[in-house]
Amino acid sequence: MKTYIATLAAAIVTAGAAYAANETVTMNMIDANGVGKSIGTLDLTDTNEGLRITPHLDGLPPGDHGFHVHVNPNCGPGNGPNGQPAAGIAAGGHYDPANTGKHLGPLGNGHKGDLLVLTVDASGKATKAVVAPHLTVAEVKGHSIMIHAGGDNYSDQPAPLGGGGARIACGVAK
């Protein structure tokens, strides 16, 4: 009987661990010419709190950066607002399946692809995990994850989409 209970307990623990979906996304620098060198990975994990994104990145400018899930699974360049080639335009806009058209941050009821800012230390490394309570690994698959040059104020004022500016790094969740 003890063996049966121990086996059953082990199966329950194993099943619980297998439940959490995981995905690793390779991130690359991007510019108007296309996709460049790898800067590391993001580990995506489903948790009770939502999607946990743990960065293992190096080579980014220090500071806070806008961080978003974008619609298309493509990190390539495209024509920017001025008609000139711009980095990451092929990724499309922020993931917004409810078509809210609003940038309200990761805790708001706007774009579902809004993530907490990505913090990069003075040496160019990002290792601090963020949680997106409205997302899962399955939902992010087939979309790109974008890092912007500047921070994010989670508002469309005074600049659209939080004011993060240019797209500087990108990866695709497959």
Q: Is residue 11 part of a domain?
A: no
pLDDT bucket at 12, cuts 50 / 70 / 90? very low
Cα separations (Å) of 60 from 29, 65, 78, 116, 168? 9, 10, 22, 17, 9
Instruction: Say what the pLDDT of residue 95 is.
Output: 96
pLDDT tens for residues 57-77? 999 999 999 999 999 999 999
Range of the domain at 66: 21-173
CB-count exposure of residue 133 (10 Å: 0-12, 13-18, 19+): exposed
Q: Is residue 10 part of a domain?
A: no
Does the structure show a pLDDT above 60 at 24?
yes
Query: By the 8 A CB rule, do 91 and 30 touch?
Result: no
Phi, psi of 3 (to 5 degrees): -65, -40
Token pair listed for 100: 């809210």
In the numeric block, the tokens 């743990």 are attached to 54
Q: Is residue 6 part of a domain?
A: no
* CATH number of the domain residue 101 falls in: 2.60.40.200
Q: CA-to-CA distance for 68 and 142, rounded, in angstroms?
A: 14
Q: Is residue 14 part of a domain?
A: no
Angle ∠(82,27,18) on CA atoms, nearest 5: 135
Q: CA-to-CA distance for 33 and 162, rounded, in angstroms?
A: 25
Coil, strand, or helix at residue 11? Answer: helix
Coil, strand, or helix at residue 13? Answer: helix
Q: Is residue 159 part of a domain?
A: yes
Please give the residue that has the higher pLDDT: either 65 or 9: 65
pLDDT bucket at 102, cuts 50 / 70 / 90? confident
Q: Is residue 8 part of a domain?
A: no
How many domains does the chain fold into? 1
pLDDT tens for residues 121-171? 999 999 999 999 999 999 999 999 999 999 887 777 777 766 688 999 999
Q: Is residue 63 part of a domain?
A: yes
Q: CA-to-CA distance for 119 and 168, rounded, in angstroms?
A: 14
Instruction: Say what the pLDDT of residue 82 is.
Output: 87
Q: Is residue 89 part of a domain?
A: yes
Instruction: Say what the pLDDT of residue 76 is.
Output: 98
